Chains A and B, each alone.
Chain A
Amino acid sequence: MRPDAPEVLRVENISKRFGSVVALRDVSLRLRKGEVLGLIGDNGAGKSTLIKIITGFHRPDSGRIFLEGKEVQLRSVSQAQSLGIQTVYQDLALVNDLSVYHNMFLNKELTRRPLPLLNNRKMKELTRRYLSDIGINIPSLDIEVAMLSGGQRQAIAVARAVYSEAKILLMDEPLAAMGAKEGAMILDLIQRLKEEGEVSIILIAHNYAHVLEVCDRVNVLQHGRIGYDRPAEETSVEELTELMVSEYRRARAGGGEAPPWEGGAG
């Protein structure tokens, strides 16, 4: 990331409740062009909710979102996509009964002219190129994604988001179902995107070593708040682990302190 990189995304004072459960309270974060921001936090801390607000899936109860300095109202996922926000969801958002290439181009299907029929050949060709770019091997693009392994499915979800001309890429645990080799491929891919410097990334991951390997900066979300924001070089796996664990210990020892599960929602 260039030191003078402009801000592409700013989230200000976002709050979100689901019924009586407070998922996010007054969350603010910012993301600069070409930056890779690591977002970590316990299960139920609100990470996925925050992602789904930026991607237009949920609407916040209050707070504002700015893209390249301009305030936006995100009303739908397709609107957020048209503004250049692409997402790798934790649940992958794949359709089991559709082929690999139809999943790769889900809601971005290529069609022919003049009749708007699907251009399967072109979609297949591009899918093959994307997957080989990443280095993931999938035996046949015609098979349904239900027949693929967890890592292969995840690779498709990642490739789909990366190769859709995103300006902002949101990745919610993109490595969760992957083996060591596949995981390394995705980390390499993120590293490559970082070197190109065109796309800005928010990466959610539970493996702090992965986060520190590729991220410029780390934010920690706890109890629906971001209470920690540091450059990656100023922190360490030990410090981040300590941060998460100590809170739990404090809660157990102190008794009076709020338990870690209070007020959290995924």
Chain B
Amino acid sequence: MAGQSATGGREGPLPRLSGALLERREAGIFAVAVALVVYFQAANAAFLTQGNLRALAQFAATTAIIAVGLVMVMILGEIDLSVGQAYGFAPIVMYLAYERLLLVLPLAIAVALAATAVVGFANGALRVYFGVPSFVATLGTFFLLGGLNVILTGGFPRPAPEESALKQALGAYPYAGILWATGIMIIMHAVLNHTRWGIHTFATGGNFTGAREAGIRVDRIRIGNFMLCSVLGGFAGIIEAMRIDSIDPLVGGAEIMFYAIAAAVIGGTPLAGGVGTVIGAFIGTLVISILRNGFTLQGVNANEFNIILGVAVLIVMALNIYVGRLRRGRRAPT
């Protein structure tokens, strides 16, 4: 029986632990996160202080929201390079709708999110209807939005909307970002694992032809998830704009997108398609944030952080493939 074969035969803590790691993709990365916290706290007592945790949470929040959206696209075996620009684009559209069109703030935010949905639709449609690989399609929208962001703002940072309860809730309150990120993670975890949309996303990414043969509307799944990814990226951008109280045309771009992809990969979403975890991406973001923050406290510079991050991505990827092989190796008896 499968349940027995997981632990059967071998006793002792190590096989059992490795068995647990095999069962839950997120367990390994969670252990890494805990170990890092312990290490940095031991190395520097300033790590677990309220001020530092707040800074850590603020950096992690927006990246986590982007990473969660990227997971949906990466499960399909696709990528969205433009999500970091959608992150910059949404607050700019919100600003224009609010300041120039004089819309009320909720409406301006709705317009901004709709605009990012259009971007996501364009990405998905290029992929699905024109057969453009998503790497290329979203590379195009990456540059397009990057230019548009600067032109729409005239190249200068613009003021964020004035104080309101909504602004507080959307990011001005110090813990708003991480609360949103946590909420979004929980909702997207449920969508991915407990709805038909999620199952169809796994199916489309895992076996595209098979999913089509089963009657799944694969085009709708692909376009929908590109839209979801863009909208989440845009929402993260709005949270960031509210927090820093400014609309910066250069806030988005490649860096935050690559951090988010790294977080998703470290968390257990290889770009191979058919596999992915939203919770893992969230914890992956925490790990990257802890690393970055902890190194900053220790005075390690950004270049060394990048080396560590790079090595971490490669190790995790290799481990993922290796563990995947282990799992496949444990076939159920016939």
A interface residues with partner B (beta carbon < 8 Å): 55, 57, 76-78, 80-81, 87, 89, 91-98, 102, 106-107, 109, 111, 116-118, 138-140, 142-144, 146-149, 151-152
B196 and A111 form a contact (CB under 8 A)? yes
Q: Which residues of B sit under 8 angstroms from A147, Cβ to Cβ?
A: 2, 327-328, 330-332
Question: Does any Cβ of A come within 8 Å of B217's Cβ?
Answer: yes
For residue B14, CB closer than 8 A to chain A, the reply is no
Pairwise interchain contact B212-A139, C-beta atoms closer than 8 A = no
A96 surroundings in chain B (CB, below 8 A): 206-207, 274
A146 to B194, CA, bound (A): 21
Count the B residues whose beta carbon is within 8 Å of the partner chain — how many?
Answer: 31
Nearest chain B residue, comparing its CB with the CB of A89 = B213
- Given A77-B214, A106-B214 in contact, is the A95-B274 Cβ separation under 8 Å? yes
Q: State A87–B209 Cα separation when bound (angstroms).
A: 14
Chain B residues within 8 Å of A142, by CB: 2
- B residues 292-334 with Cβ under 8 Å of A? 327-328, 330-334
Is there contact, CB below 8 Å, between B196 and A98?
Answer: no
Q: Given A118-B199, A146-B328, A147-B331, A139–B2 Cβ distance below 8 Å?
A: yes
Q: In whole Å, how far is B221's beta carbon from the nearest beta carbon of chain A?
A: 11
B200 interfacial contact with A, CB 8 Å? yes
Inter-chain contact A148/B196, CB cutoff 8 Å: no
Interface membership of B211, Cβ < 8 A: yes
**In the bound complex, do residue A94 and residue B334 qualify as a contact, i.e. CB atoms below 8 Å apart?**
no
In the assembled complex, the Cα of A107 lies from the Cα of B217 at a distance in Å of 9
A109 and chain B: residue at smallest CB distance: B196
Instruction: Please tell me if the beta carbons of B194 and A97 are within 8 angstroms of each other in the complex.
Output: no
When A and B form their complex, what is the total count of cross-chain residue pairs whose Cβ atoms lie within 8 Å? 98
Task: Output the nearest chain A residue to B216 by Cβ-Cβ distance.
Answer: A107
**A94 in complex: contacting residue of B207, B215, B216, B327, CB < 8 Å:** B207
24 contacts between A and B (CB under 8 A): A78-B215, A89-B213, A93-B213, A94-B207, A94-B210, A95-B203, A95-B210, A95-B274, A96-B207, A96-B274, A97-B202, A97-B206, A97-B275, A107-B203, A107-B211, A107-B216, A116-B196, A118-B199, A139-B2, A140-B3, A147-B328, A147-B332, A149-B334, A151-B334
- Cα distance, A95 to B77, chains bound together (Å): 14
Main secondary structure on B side of the interface with A: helix
A116–B195 alpha-carbon span in the complex (Å): 7
B190 on the A face (CB < 8 A): yes
Q: B257 to chain A: closest CB distance in Å?
A: 26
- Give Cα distance in the complex from A239 to B120, angstroms: 59
Interface of A is mostly: loop
With A80-B215, A111-B195 given, can you name 11 additional A-B contacts, CB distance below 8 Å? A76-B215, A77-B215, A93-B209, A94-B207, A95-B211, A97-B274, A98-B202, A107-B211, A116-B196, A139-B2, A147-B327
Residue from the list A77, A117, A146 in contact with B213, Cβ < 8 A: A77
- In whole angstroms, how far apart are the Cα atoms of A140 and B275 in the complex? 20
Complex Cα spacing A46 to B7, Å: 47
Structural contact, B215 and A107, CB atoms closer than 8 A = yes
> Out of A57, A80, A117, A152, which one reaches B334, CB within 8 Å?
A152
Chain A residue with minimal CB distance to B3? A140
CB proximity of B175 to chain A, nearest CB, Å: 28
Within 8 A of A (CB), among B168-202: 190, 194-196, 199-200, 202
| Interface presence of B1 (CB below 8 A) | yes
Report the minimum CB–CB distance from B241 to chain A (whole Å).
32
Residues of B within 8 A of A148 (CB): 331-332
From known contacts A146-B328, A148-B332, infer whether A118 and B195 are also in contact, taking CB-CB under 8 Å.
Answer: yes
Hey, which chain B residues are within 8 Å of A55, CB to CB?
A: 213
For A139, give its contact among B194, B203, B275, B332 (CB under 8 Å).
B332
When distances are taken between beta carbons in the complex, the residues of chain B under 8 Å from A107 are 200, 203, 211, 214-216
- Beyond A117-B195, A118-B195, whether A98 also contacts B203 by CB under 8 A is yes
Bound form: Cα–Cα A81–B212 in Å: 12
